Amino acid sequence: MLNLNLLKRLTKTTPSKIILLVMDGLGGLPIEGKTELEHASIPNLDSLVRKSICGVVDPVSPGITPGSGPAHLGLFGCDPLKYEIGRGVLEATGINFPLEKNDLAVRINFATIDKEGRITDRRAGRISTELNEKLCQKLDKISLESVKIFVRPVKEHRAVVVFRGENLSEKIAETDPQKLGALPLEPAPLSKEAETTSKIISKFVSEAKKILSPHHPANMILLRGFSKPPSLPSFSQVYHLHPAAIATYPMYKGLARLFGMEILDLKGTNIEDEIRALEENFNDYDFFFIHIKGTDSAGEDGDWKRKVQVIENVDKFIPQILKLNPDVFMVTGDHSTPSVLKSHSWHPVPLLLYSPTCRVDEVAKFSENACAKGGLGRMPAIDIMPLALAHAQKLEKYGA
């Protein structure tokens, strides 16, 4: 497998521009013989496909259904089997919290305990997000020596705490015993260097318990997913790109930020707003990651029709993107989310690569099965970035 150090050695900065358009959960499964993509009326993508080379992409490895983290690691050229994004970091990333290198991020669940301290509800009756926000404001005021503390709401009973300080360790045991009637566990150190961190977390939990005691059913917190940001290769350092991310959901902004992308401001949350941001910033960057969330949301909801509509809606903006004259334009998904499964799946995702240097194949329709017969064949997602850099003529020859 290609080594990122080699790519770093071979990439050079050129004026050429790359656009990676990701329809989240794009791949589907047929209902009445046709997948969502096969059913959609997409004249612009079908026209573009005839000038492109196509293939199907395994986000991680055949048979593996990825979460959003691993799926985007793959798209960005990082082996998702080698790099892992911990649960705490993913939660912080998901609310677009600006994590720093040495931060320790932890997922909080608000919970209910009885007078003896035993857990009676591990999700505090799924309190409202509004109440969650108020409680987080209180917990955010906890002040401990040697660390800065940030407590931020996520949704319902879920929140995140970030500890900022020196020498914090992620080797801490989860405090959720995963059963009712038990006492919360201690945030025990799992290795010697985690002892100081363990004490800090213990103090934080006991302060939180005091603050929350009048707020039944949310009168306790359970902690899991202690994790620090993985040292992911930044796009500027590895690929020598000046990258921008265009996304409407915080999770994807956060993931892009982990790779050192700049997050562009949007005027709204529609595809139109995303494409406008692309147009307005096209001169200032040489790599654009555009994330479309609607396809995945519709798939997760099992809403076949809506997924078709989102794809058709994206198709309308293809001419506007092509007018910018990118040197490499790729359209794909991060994984499949077939409406019939109402969840992410392991099925490969169609990929279209348009560039003056591509060997145009005979694929005449942008769909899962048509792309499987394309000139790129079947490939792992981590090959997408090297291919894009090659077609943008940003890669030097390897060896003499």
Which parts of this chain interact with a second copy (CB under 8 A)?
A: 1-3, 6, 10, 29-30, 35, 56, 60-70, 80-81, 84-85, 87, 90, 341, 343-347, 357, 359-362, 368-369, 372-373, 375-379, 383, 385-390, 395-400
Pull the structure tokens for residue 390.
């090659």
Q: How far is the CB of 216 from a second copy (least distance, A)?
A: 30
Q: Among positive and negative, which fits the CA dihedral 341, 345, 346, 347?
A: positive
Measured from the CB of residue 395, what is the shortest distance to a second copy in angstroms?
6
Relative orientation angle of helices 384-391 and 68-75, to the nearest 10 degrees: 30
- Which CB atom, from 176 or from 383, has the smaller least distance to a second copy? 383
The residue among 276 and 344 lying less far from a second copy, judged by its C-beta, is 344
Contact 256, 274 (CB under 8 A): no
Phi first, then psi: give them for residue 64, nearest 5 degrees.
-90, 125
CB of 174 to a second copy, least distance (A): 15
Give bridge partners of residue 119 from the DSSP assignment.
113
Shortest distance, CB of residue 198 to a second copy, whole angstroms?
Answer: 24
Q: Write down the least CB distance from residue 225 to a second copy, Å.
A: 9
Nearer to a second copy, 6 or 183 (CB): 6
Specify the residue, 198 or 336, whose C-beta has the smaller distance to a second copy.
336
**Which of residues 2 and 190 has its CB atom nearest to a second copy in the complex?**
2
H/E stretch holding 352 = strand 349-354
Counting other chains too, the contacts that 28-33 makes at CB distance below 8 Å and 24 or more residues apart are: 28/299, 28/307, 28/336, 28/337, 28/338, 28/339, 28/340, 28/368, 29/336, 29/338, 29/339, 29/340, 29/341, 29/345, 29/347, 31/304, 31/339, 31/340
Minimum distance of a second copy from residue 375's CB (angstroms): 5
CB nearer to a second copy: pick between 178 and 357: 357
Q: Which helix (H) or strand (E) holds 208?
A: helix 195-212
